[in-house]
Amino acid sequence: MKDIEAILGNLMVSVFEQVENLEEGVHALQAFYHYSKRDALQPLYEQKIAAVSYLTYFFYVCMLSHVRLFSWNLV
């Protein structure tokens, strides 16, 4: 079982290295959700949740900045 968990951990790391946007991050989290219940993979999964949460925050801040800049151009 530990070999499978090691392979899944490596796969999870590889997949998240390829994530380029928020949507891909959410899809990757969904794909690995079932495996996140394993004790060996739970910390790694939680780390990836934090990374996607940061992407969400970054996306939100960028959207707010864009809205503010756009509204300033209208004045």
Across the chain, which has 75 residues, the per-10-residue mean pLDDT values are 91 93 92 94 95 86 68 47
pLDDT for residue 12: 95
pLDDT for residue 55: 84
- Residue 24 makes CB contacts below 8 A (sequence gap 6+) with 18
pLDDT for residue 62: 78
pLDDT for residue 75: 41
Q: Whole-prediction pTM value?
A: 0.76
